[in-house]
Structure 1
Amino acid sequence: MDQSDVEYTRRQKSENYLYLKPKTILRTGFRIYKNHFKDYYLIAFKACLWLLIPIYGFAKYLSLNGLISYLVFYEVIEEPDTIKEAHRFIESRIWKFFSAAILVIFAIQIILLIIKGILLPVLIVISGFIYSLFSQFNLDNVSQFFLQNKIFNDFLIAIHSFKYFLKTFIYLFVYIFAIGHLLIFDVLLAVTENMTAFESLKYSKELTQRHLSPILLVTLLETLVIIPGIYLVDSSLSFITFPLLNNTEKHPLLVFLIFAIYIIISFIFLAFLNSYCLAIKAVTTHELIKISNNFKIK
């Protein structure tokens, strides 16, 4: 084998390595999650309880999620840390998690505003064209004309359907962008030293920009796993609370009981869902860092 063949083989191996493997990520994440289920679940449940407190509770929720990510990440690299030590490290950056989350929300809103700002003039032009098209009939009430004519009524329904489809597409596009590029910012904050909230978003985008498809595939497979659980919880809530709803007029206090049942069952399931998804996300982050080969962690 000559030198060019050697270089080609090395390049081929390198290119093969540059791709995430969803099957490996899901298998590794589930294995770690199963081995430490009790610890991760209890942390996730505590995080859910903190959501009952505004602002500071949300910050605590994010930091406890970061704690799970931290523990999973260091399990993957076979340098496990104790919950106590990990909590001390994570607690010192609680407001960084909060700031980063606010930046993500702000970024998503800015993207939505930009897209709407681009599309709004187009929709105005289309609406003006349609109005001018039918104004030639010299109708005093164009809306009434639509209602009295089936063809035009169907056309109006089609226009509204298109607007709904366009709105759905915009939100889906922004959701995919957020999932694909800003997915791992909280894990990076948890496992790296001296990183700011803004830097976590920046590096998250850098690490994920070449791996959008496998990241979305992992997210899709992850979602398919939890859908049966969502259906089960929804059915359970309906089964438990439906008989009580019929008696709320006679017993007003039942409203508070129903609300408490909803909160408790929702938090029980959310803790399970959160801890599982965070384990998968931490493994995904580890794989992305390993692929980049130039990212410094704690």
Structure 2
Amino acid sequence: MSTTSSNPAGPLSVGNVVSAGVRIYRSHLQQYFTQALIAHLWILVPIYGWAKYSAIAGLISRLAFGELTNQPETLTEARKHTHPRMWSFLGAGILLMLIFLGLYLGAVIVFTILMFAGVLISQTIPRGGFIVAPLLLLVALIFFIVLLIRVFSRLMIVEVPLAIEPNMNASGAISRSWELTKGSVGRIQWIAVVAFLITLLVNVPVQVISFLFQLATESAATTGGNSGVALLLFLINLALSFGVAALIMPFWQVIKAVIYYDLRARREGLGLGLRRR
């Protein structure tokens, strides 16, 4: 194992973060996949199940963080920390949803105002208005996309401090994520892009298979006397979707744990090193 000093020389590179996430995920695939599958089954239960899902996502990040700091926990030990905060995890998710909903509504208002402004400009300047109005909308769209990506990067690791740090609640976890990611937005964006491309290796083939199953299900449903076959195909497709989601979710939770570890090590001198495998 290598250790960092109390003041790490610099951040892990994008490649190091992703490769560390892949190593941890691969070495604990069965455990993480099982927990993620249970979490996705809980989604079917409104409210309580959603809280359980959120808590299990945090649990996976906590387990990964323990591997990073060379202080691994058993599933039971980690659950003792995350399960009591189940409703806080759900609360953090709701707050995040409200934040992004607010951004969306703000964008709708701005675009509506710009559309009216474009109409007025077109009426005032008949020739130039047809150029100015679309440009205003284009600039506003680019600004909104950049803002959305930046906010996502600042709030990407919200559930990790909630799963790891003591005396943490939903609003505190959001503030903590915002604080830790300050100045690291660009790097986090690249990490997210690379991680997303890795998940495509699994997601794209499965989406193609799922689409074929859906076509077969619709074909069987429209053919008389094949309702049983249609139901079977639907259930297989549903199981496939749950399985893929359960395969991808832990990978993202591990990546978030690595980002959190790296940010804390650089900002607060965590003094703990990545385990070499």
Task: Mark yes or no: TM-score above 0.5.
Answer: yes
The CA deviation at 1:167 is 7.5
**Structure 1 residues 266 and 289: CA distance shift in structure 2, 3 A:** same
Q: TM-score, normalised by structure 1?
A: 0.78
Write the mapping of 1:278-293 to structure 2, written as runs, cut at 5 A. Answer: 278-293=253-268
Residue 72 of structure 2 corresponds to 80
The CA deviation at 1:40 is 0.7
Q: TM-score, normalised by structure 2?
A: 0.84
* 1:191 aligned residue (158, 164, 189): 164
The CA deviation at 1:187 is 0.4
The CA deviation at 1:65 is 0.4
Q: Which moved more, 1:186-195 or 1:26-35?
A: 26-35
* 2:251 aligned residue (276, 291, 294): 276
* 1:211 aligned residue (170, 181, 184): 184
**Structure 1 residues 253 and 131: CA distance shift in structure 2, 3 A:** farther
Residue pair 2:51, 2:89 contacting (<8 A) in 1 also: yes
Residue 51 of structure 1 corresponds to 43
CA deviation digits over 1:123-155, x for unaligned, max 9? 211113325666xxxxxxxxxxxxxxxxxxxxx
Q: Secondary structure at the match of 1:195?
A: coil
Aligned length: 263
Establish whether residue 111 from structure 1 lines up as the match of residue 103 from structure 2.
yes
**Structure 1 residues 254 and 161: CA distance shift in structure 2, 3 A:** farther
Residue 55 of structure 2 corresponds to 63
The CA deviation at 1:280 is 1.1
Which ranges of structure 1 fall in alignment gaps of 5 or more residues? 1-12, 135-156
CA deviation digits over 1:62-92, x for unaligned, max 9? 1000010000001100111110111122100
* 1:102 aligned residue (91, 94, 102): 94
Q: Which amino acid aligns with 1:204?
A: S
Q: Which moved more, 1:272-281 or 1:234-243?
A: 234-243
Q: Which amino acid aligns with 1:261?
A: I
Residue 206 of structure 2 corresponds to 233
Q: Secondary structure at the match of 1:209?
A: coil
The CA deviation at 1:57 is 1.2
* 1:124 aligned residue (116, 125, 140): 116
- Separation of aligned partners in 1, 2:157 and 2:173: 8
- Separation of aligned partners in 2, 1:215 and 1:36: 24
- Separation of aligned partners in 2, 1:223 and 1:161: 32
Q: Secondary structure at the match of 2:221?
A: coil
Bigger relative CO (Cα 8 Å, ≥ 6 apart): 2
Establish whether residue 223 from structure 1 lines up as the match of residue 192 from structure 2.
no
Residue 137 of structure 1 corresponds to none
Report sequence identity in percent: 25
Residue pair 1:70, 1:187 contacting (<8 A) in 2 also: yes
The CA deviation at 1:161 is 7.9
Residue 259 of structure 1 corresponds to 234
The CA deviation at 1:28 is 1.3
**Structure 1 residues 122 and 54: CA distance shift in structure 2, 3 A:** same
Q: Which has the larger radius of gyration?
A: 1
